Amino acid sequence: MDVEQITALLHSELKGCEISVSGEGSHYDITVVGDIFAGLRPVKKQQLVYAALNEQIANGSIHAVNIKTYTPQEWVDK
């Protein structure tokens, strides 16, 4: 998989979110900003992103991800 494919996949699963993906090979850094994360604990936020990538992680297309998630307000306050 490449950055564009992962970005498209995440956009299809995490509607209305701003998504940034960087990396290569099977290691990626992912930042997602969206209202979908409002009121969620950090682990639940990450689980939403992992769920969108579950098949690719299972088949080895993606080996390692570093995920950062924010609500729009958390992003502004960052």
Q: What is the CATH number of the domain that holds 48?
A: 3.30.300.90
Q: What is the pLDDT of residue 5?
A: 94
Separation between Cα atoms, residue 55 and residue 57, nearest integer Å: 5
Count the alpha carbons within 13 Å of 73 in the hemisphere toward its beta carbon. Answer: 5
Q: What is the pLDDT of residue 25?
A: 84
Q: Residue 16 above 90 pLDDT? A: yes
Q: Is 33 exposed, middle or buried (0-12, 13-18, 19+ CB in 10 A)?
A: buried
| Least confident segment among 9-13, 39-43, 57-61 | 57-61
Separation between Cα atoms, residue 73 and residue 50, nearest integer Å: 22
Count the domains in the chain: 1
Let me know: does 71 contact 35? Beta carbons within 8 Å.
yes
Condensed to tens digits (0 to 9), the pLDDT of residues 22-45 reads 998 889 999 999 999 999 999 999
Entry pTM: 0.92
Q: Which domain holds residue 73?
A: 3-77
